Amino acid sequence: MDKRLDEERKRNEISYKKQGITGTSIVTEGNEPTFDLNDFINIFEIIHSYMEEHPEEFPAPADNLLIRKTPDPRINQNLYAEEKKGIIEGFENENLIAMELKKLDGNYTIIILGKDSADGEWGVLSEGDVYKLREEITNGN
């Protein structure tokens, strides 16, 4: 899966530079919710702030145009599972999202965001690679 995601990210970088579009061929199954425009605006604002708070790891938000919902099914299946454990315990599916973005070193990372209610504010729950986050979601470590 890591290899497939890396290949897709490279294709998306080229496609975005040439045509301004990205996409995914990876299908995730599960209870993944849909989000409205206001949610995405708030989510991107939080991610941009997070990037600005960590300039040693991330380019300026305006230079990182490939921020998107992660297509990684390993994260999404755990994030939207019926039983919530670890860092997502107590969150409803519609109040969780995993976004991926490119770091200064060229690698991608995933940021998990959550809010405690439909009217709550989005916040960063954790950031890291799929292995770290999957552990935090499933075991709470």
* Number of neighbouring beta carbons within 10 Å of residue 51: 21
The pLDDT value recorded for residue 47 is: 94
10 Å CB burial of residue 99 (0-12, 13-18, 19+) is buried
* Residue 113 near residue 88, CB atoms below 8 Å: no
| Residue 116, pLDDT above cutoff 70 | yes
pLDDT at position 1, please? 65
Which residues make Cβ contacts (< 8 Å) with residue 125, sequence separation at least 6?
A: 87, 88, 112, 113, 114
pLDDT at 92: 94
Q: What ranges do the domains of the chain cover?
A: 2-138
Query: Does pLDDT of 54 surpass 90?
Result: yes
Closest CA to 108 of 72, 55, 62, 81: 72
